Every structure is written in C-alpha cells, then in structure tokens.
Structure 1
Amino acid sequence: MQPSQLHATQLMALSAMCIHRLIPPDAVEPLLRAIANHFISDRSSADAMTVGLNTIREMCKRQPLAMNADLLRDLVEYKNQRGDRGVMMAARALIQLYRDVYP
C-alpha cells in the first residue's frame, strides 16, 4: 500500500476496523511495519504521515500488543517534528494511548 494509491485512506480505515483483541499480535505487526515504512518517513508528505500515525494508533488501540518497542520508539520521535502540527499531534496521541494502556 502506497500513499499515492487510489483509496489508500479507505483501505487503511477498513484494515483498522478489522483488528480486534483476539487477533494474534504477530499477525498485526507486519501490517503496522508496512504502514510505518510506506507512510511515515522523512520523505513522505505531512498528510501521509498524519494518516499513517493515526491508523497505527487506531490499530494499536484495538490490539495494543501488536506494537513492538523499536517501532514505538521510532514513531514517538515525530512528536517534535517541526512544520506540521498534525504529525506532532498524531505522535502525541500514540504516546498517550500507550500511557493509558501501560501506565
């Protein structure tokens, strides 16, 4: 899935809605990694990064064990991203989710 793909946001919303707590975390982790690799990088647009971070947050809200520590560490670095408030807020929302789930 690429940010320039037709209906990418709809596909990401559908994939987030399909995840629940009974799905093994090992099955969700490759999807999280693919979204992070294709949507969240320094060369991606701010809109693509915001959509990617919010989709990952929604997936992790439904299955919190799917996120590994390395990926979470990489994603929270975007909380200090200058230039786009949406990316900063999405990264901070992901941090807040894990503070609530694992205090």
Structure 2
Amino acid sequence: MRYVAFIFATVFSIAAIAGQWLGWPQSINIPVILLAGACLVWGFFDIYSKQEEKPIVLDDAQRATIKRMKEEGNHQLAIQQVQMWFRNPPAEEAARIVREV
C-alpha cells in the first residue's frame, strides 16, 4: 500500500505544480497540496507500522568491548555503547544486555 500512497502523493504534487503554472485558483491548489501531504503521511506510516524489531545479538568483538568496559567500572558507558550499536534501544534493554555479558 505504501507504493500506492507514494504514487498518489506524486500525482497530487504534480497536479499542484501544474495548477500553479496553469493559474488554477487557490481553492483548488491548497486541497491538492494537503492531499499530497496526507498521502505522504500515509505512506510513511505504512512503512513504520510494518517494521519488525530485530533481536540484539553481540558479536565477539562487541562482547570483548563490553567486558573491558565493565572491568574498568564503566557500566553506564557500556550501556550507552550498546545503545549506539543497535539504533538506540531502551536503556533497560541495554542494561540487561550489559549485565548478561
């Protein structure tokens, strides 16, 4: 459905540009622009709603880095490092991963 939404957004955007060039009244151009925006929101929402969370799995180098940080006493830094590696998971999830290492 996102392709349909983006196609509609494109068509409405082109219609708004053409309407401006052809001298259509503002009462037509503004709703066409609003429809294009609504279709963009629809398309992006469709993409967002179908994303799946990927499980966080550390490789050997990442495990070694976290172990080294924990040995140095930098638990908070280790949590922040996990958040940077995996697109900012919640702090509780990152803390759980650091505790398990």
Relative contact order higher in (CA < 8 Å, ≥ 6 apart):
1
Name the larger-Rg structure.
Answer: 2
What TM-score, normalized by structure 1, do the two folds share? 0.32
- Provide TM-score, normalisation by structure 2: 0.32
Larger % of helix: which?
2
